[in-house]
């Protein structure tokens, strides 16, 4: 039914029906398809609050829980919650639950940064450190926020919703339309496997489509041959005093060259030649603990330790050479091979990753180790954890970023680039990534703190967060192919998927909001109008196409524009025709479609209309820049009805002033100024017009 309703909208460029029927149809369609989408995905709203009265704060604690402002987002009612601060504790919080069933909870809200901003968090009750998700409120205009992660909460436990502004500095923000959704069935295609242990599992490798080896810090080496249904501990037995420290083999890493030949390292080094059924200890005269290893070729082994040494053997570990290349631990060591067809000769490169640098040497032809500092992992608390290559030579490194708050970060170096770039993840504001797996040239997985698993299907351009039935840290992830893989972590956690971590059946795109033109926005005649909306997340990671619908005659007819794959569409008509218009967007994944949660209205008027019609509030006008997006220049028009001192400035997304375009007295009239982003970075910028008591701010997008 969803597809039939939407096909009638999308396939025809104009749809004729009466005004009331039109409004009823679109409201019904939006509600019906949203409800259907939620039903298919298992979405259950467990909490919603728009803070319209003091009764809406019953149960809330903290001194910021009962202050309100009349500034609200679209459809936000009459007031929003005001949070201000100057201390590091939460200013408002509420306990919810306990819940009868396990759940994956997603946090959504509208927020506005008034001064320095703040955040909103959701965490499971219990001792610190708690599992937590949340968003940072950092935009000066009302913005819809949605946590990219979900919080897994066991049945019988409570969750805590909290808000805070500031830290060590005075700050303030507005919050409205707070919503917690149980998204239980989205991407819940990870199966918990019983490991039979509660130890911290540190690494996993798959030998074929059903066989895997898992190692842990309490000495376990577990093997499965049936995709994790059953496990056997194949760790070697040693003569020692039971339960003594010498009796525990603390394993950190395992690496296999093929399905038979492998190595496990930790306090000791052991190797196997029969797929992990039997293990042999190797002698190496060092006192360091070994953290990482790789079989680059038969008999050719590299090992990194916690003191910056790289140990190398070319005879399967019978003899070793050791070289200290840094004082930092070697957390990851991995090869890159170039076939003769690529470069005219066989080239083997070996990479050693520390928390802040990447070392590289060429084995064929032979070179010394060379250090490359990693800019994204230099801040306080920033650390790199694991690196790897996709089949096309693209390099990835994952870890923890952020100076004061731990943030997951993924960096990419794609030939022929000479610099690393951060490629995500967006909207994940807490945590860290500990491992990655790259089964093919486009598919990439990463795992980390708080059960976080991310997936990219386009070589790192975009990432989706996969729901996992755990809040334990996932220390390692390994995929044998694009669909079958394991993730292992703390407390003996083992997860398995055979569907790439997503549902094998198609789910519709998730609901989304319109952005600009904002509801009831007014603008003068211009060459074109730029329509923008939120990027839609598809639970199955299908490509999304958007169709823009505009009505210019009170919903008697609708015109369709697109489909397009971007979330920005420049439309020339109806930009030149004064009138009142309505617009919405349909997102389609090729099988199912989802309409925008909003239907916005906007007004277009001519300069001659200013002051002559009461339909347009106010006589000052700041128009949307054209073109938008732009490279490198764009034009900004504005109208002032009387002689005024005019100030027009451009700011970046952090609120820092970029330039002043106008700062002088001007007579009444229409004006146009040009802005150049030639020396700026690509991104969103704000331009603000001030004249008399009139203040208006709009966004523009600069793309190099």
**Is residue 103, in this structure, part of any structural domain at all?**
yes
CATH number for the domain that contains residue 7: 2.60.40.10
Long-range contacts of 655-661 (CB under 8 A, 24+ apart): 655/140, 658/685, 661/636, 661/687
Query: How would residue 36 be classed by pLDDT, with cut points 50, 70 and 90?
Result: very low
- Least confident range from 409-418, 566-575, 625-634: namely 566-575
Burial 435-451 (b: 16+ CB within 10 A, else e): bbbbbeebbbbbbbbbb
Cβ–Cβ under 8 Å, residues 562 and 546: yes
Same domain, 124 and 225: no
Q: In this predicted structure, what is the pLDDT of residue 654?
A: 62
Q: In this predicted structure, what is the pLDDT of residue 527?
A: 73
Same domain, 287 and 356: yes
Strands 521-524 and 600-605: parallel
Q: Is the pLDDT of residue 618 over 70?
A: no
Q: From 591, 616, 641, give the residue that closes a domain.
A: 616
User: Token digits for 698?
Assistant: 């709009």
Provide the domain count of the chain. Answer: 4
Q: Is the pLDDT of residue 24 over 90?
A: no
Say which DSSP state 500 is in: T
DSSP string over 239-264: -S-TTSGGG---EEEEEESSSS-EEE
Average pLDDT over residues 583-600: 86
Query: Within its chain, how far is the Cα of 143 from the centroid?
Result: 17
User: Token digits for 557?
Assistant: 């007819």
CATH number for the domain that contains residue 701: 2.60.40.1930
**Is residue 503, in this structure, part of any structural domain at all?**
no
Same domain, 320 and 238: yes
Cβ–Cβ under 8 Å, residues 34 and 511: yes
Q: In this predicted structure, what is the pLDDT of residue 232?
A: 95
Same domain, 302 and 370: yes
Q: From 616, 634, 654, give the residue that closes a domain.
A: 616
Helix, strand, coil tally for the chain in percent (to 5): 10, 45, 45
Report the DSSP beta bridge partners of residue 394: none
Pick 481 or 166 by higher pLDDT.
Answer: 481
**Is residue 427, in this structure, part of any structural domain at all?**
yes
SS3 call for 55? helix
Q: In this predicted structure, what is the pLDDT of residue 243?
A: 66
Query: How would residue 90 be classed by pLDDT, with cut points 50, 70 and 90?
Result: low
CATH number for the domain that contains residue 112: 2.60.120.260
Query: How would residue 186 be classed by pLDDT, with cut points 50, 70 and 90?
Result: very low
**Is residue 409, in this structure, part of any structural domain at all?**
yes
Model pLDDT for residues 558-571, shown as the tens digit of each residue: 788 888 888 888 88
User: Residue 26: phi, psi to the nearest 5?
Assistant: -70, -40
Same domain, 594 and 556: yes
**Is residue 571, in this structure, part of any structural domain at all?**
yes
HEC string of 264-317 equals EEECCEEEECCCCCCCEECCCCCCCCEEEEEEEECCEEEEEECCCEEEEECCCC
Q: From 183, 217, 244, give the residue that closes a domain.
A: 183
Q: In this predicted structure, what is the pLDDT of residue 270?
A: 95
Query: How would residue 575 be classed by pLDDT, with cut points 50, 70 and 90?
Result: low
Cβ–Cβ under 8 Å, residues 495 and 474: yes
Which are the contacts of 431, defined by CB distance < 8 A and separation ≥ 6?
Answer: 149, 400, 406, 407, 408, 448, 449, 450, 452
Pick 323 or 628 by higher pLDDT.
Answer: 323
List the domain range (segments joined by +) for residue 247. Answer: 191-497
C-alpha span between 25 and 570 (Å, rounded):
26
Average pLDDT over residues 337-346: 56
Same domain, 463 and 314: yes
Same domain, 408 and 478: yes
Model pLDDT for residues 228-238, shown as the tens digit of each residue: 989 999 999 87
Same domain, 360 and 430: yes
CATH number for the domain that contains residue 433: 2.130.10.10
Q: In this predicted structure, what is the pLDDT of residue 655?
A: 65
**Is residue 502, in this structure, part of any structural domain at all?**
no
Q: In this predicted structure, what is the pLDDT of residue 268?
A: 92
Same domain, 164 and 307: no
DSSP string over 371-403: EEE-GGG-STT-EEEEEEE-TTS-EEEEEEE-S
What CA–CA distances, in Å, run from 530 to 3, 600, 645, 668?
A: 28, 14, 29, 27
Name the percent of the chain lying above pLDDT 90: 34
Query: How would residue 627 be classed by pLDDT, with cut points 50, 70 and 90?
Result: confident
Model pLDDT for residues 439-498, shown as the tens digit of each residue: 998 899 999 998 899 998 888 988 888 888 888 899 999 999 999 999 999 999 999 998
C-alpha span between 232 and 224 (Å, rounded):
7
What CA–CA distances, in Å, run from 28 to 31, 179, 510?
A: 5, 22, 18
**Is residue 475, in this structure, part of any structural domain at all?**
yes
Same domain, 114 and 141: yes
Same domain, 158 and 270: no
Same domain, 593 and 663: no
Query: How would residue 431 be classed by pLDDT, with cut points 50, 70 and 90?
Result: confident
**Is residue 230, in this structure, part of any structural domain at all?**
yes
Q: Is the pLDDT of residue 176 over 60?
A: yes
């Amino acid at each position: 039914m969803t597809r039939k309703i939407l096909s009638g909208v999308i396939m025809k460029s104009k749809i004729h029906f009466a005004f009331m029927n039109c409004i009823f149809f679109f409201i019904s369609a939006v509600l019906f398809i949203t409800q259907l989408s939620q039903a298919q995905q298992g979405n259950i709203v467990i909490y919603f609050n728009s803070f319209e009265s003091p009764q809406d704060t019953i149960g809330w604690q903290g001194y910021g829980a009962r202050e309100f402002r009349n500034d609200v987002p679209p459809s936000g009612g009459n007031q929003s919650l005001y949070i201000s601060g100057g201390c590091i504790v939460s200013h408002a919080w509420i306990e919810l639950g306990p819940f009868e069933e396990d759940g994956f909870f997603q946090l959504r809200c509208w927020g506005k940064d008034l001064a320095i901003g703040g955040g909103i968090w959701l965490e499971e009750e219990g001792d610190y450190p708690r599992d937590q998700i949340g968003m940072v409120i950092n935009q000066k205009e009302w913005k819809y926020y949605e946590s990219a992660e979900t919080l897994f909460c066991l049945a019988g436990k409570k969750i805590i919703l909290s808000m805070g502004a500031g830290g060590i500095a005075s700050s303030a923000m507005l919050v409205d339309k707070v919503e917690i959704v149980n998204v239980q069935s989205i991407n819940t295609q990870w199966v918990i496997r019983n490991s039979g242990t509660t130890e911290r599992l540190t690494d996993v490798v798959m030998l074929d489509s059903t066989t895997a080896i898992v190692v842990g810090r309490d000495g376990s080496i577990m093997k499965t041959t049936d995709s994790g249904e059953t496990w056997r501990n194949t760790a070697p037995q040693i003569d020692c005093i039971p339960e003594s420290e010498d009796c525990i083999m603390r394993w950190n890493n395992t690496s296999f060259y093929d399905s038979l030949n492998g190595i496990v390292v930790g306090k000791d080094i052991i190797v196997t030649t029969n797929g992990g059924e039997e293990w042999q200890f190797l002698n190496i005269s060092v006192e360091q603990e070994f953290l990482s290893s790789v079989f680059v070729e038969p008999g050719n082994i590299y090992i990194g330790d916690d003191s910056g040494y790289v140990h190398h053997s070319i005879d399967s570990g019978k003899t070793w050479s050791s070289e200290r290349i840094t004082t930092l631990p070697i957390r990851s060591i991995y090869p890159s091979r170039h076939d003769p067809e690529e470069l005219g000769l066989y080239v083997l490169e070996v990479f050693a990753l520390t928390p802040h640098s990447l070392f590289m040497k060429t084995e064929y032809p032979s070179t010394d180790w060379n250090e490359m500092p990693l800019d994204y992992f230099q801040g306080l608390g920033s650390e790199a954890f694991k690196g790897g290559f996709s089949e096309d030579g693209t390099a990835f490194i994952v870890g923890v970023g952020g100076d004061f708050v731990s943030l997951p970060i993924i960096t990419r170096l794609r030939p022929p680039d000479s610099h690393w770039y951060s490629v995500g993840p967006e909207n994940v504001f807490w945590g860290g990534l500990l491992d990655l797996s790259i089964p093919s040239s486009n598919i990439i997985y990463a795992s980390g703190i708080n059960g976080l698993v991310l997936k990219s299907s386009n070589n790192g351009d975009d990432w989706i967060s996969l729901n996992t039935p755990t809040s334990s840290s996932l220390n390692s992830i390994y995929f044998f192919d694009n669909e079958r893989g394991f993730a292992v972590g703390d407390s003996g956690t083992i997860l398995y998927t055979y569907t790439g971590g997503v549902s094998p059946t198609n789910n519709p795109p998730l609901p989304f909001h319109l952005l600009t033109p904002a509801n009831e926005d007014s603008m003068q005649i211009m060459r074109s109008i730029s329509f923008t909306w939120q990027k839609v997340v598809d639970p199955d990671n299908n490509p999304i196409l958007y169709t823009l619908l505009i009505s210019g005659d009170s919903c008697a007819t609708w015109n369709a524009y697109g489909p397009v794959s971007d979330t920005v569409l420049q439309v020339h008509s109806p930009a030149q025709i004064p009138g009142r218009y309505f617009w919405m967007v349909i997102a389609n994944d090729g099988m199912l479609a989802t309409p925008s949660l909003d239907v916005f209205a906007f007004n277009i008027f001519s300069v001659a209309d200013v002051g002559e019609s009461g339909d347009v509030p106010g006589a000052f006008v700041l128009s949307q820049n054209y073109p938008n997006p732009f490279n490198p220049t764009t034009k900004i028009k504005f109208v002032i009805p009387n002689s005024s001192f005019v100030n027009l400035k451009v700011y970046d997304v952090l609120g820092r002033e970029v330039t002043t375009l106008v700062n002088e007295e001007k007579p009444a009239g229409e004006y146009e100024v040009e802005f150049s982003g030639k020396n700026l970075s690509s991104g969103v910028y704000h331009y603000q017009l001030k004249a008399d008591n009139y203040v208006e701010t709009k966004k523009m997008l600069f793309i190099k």
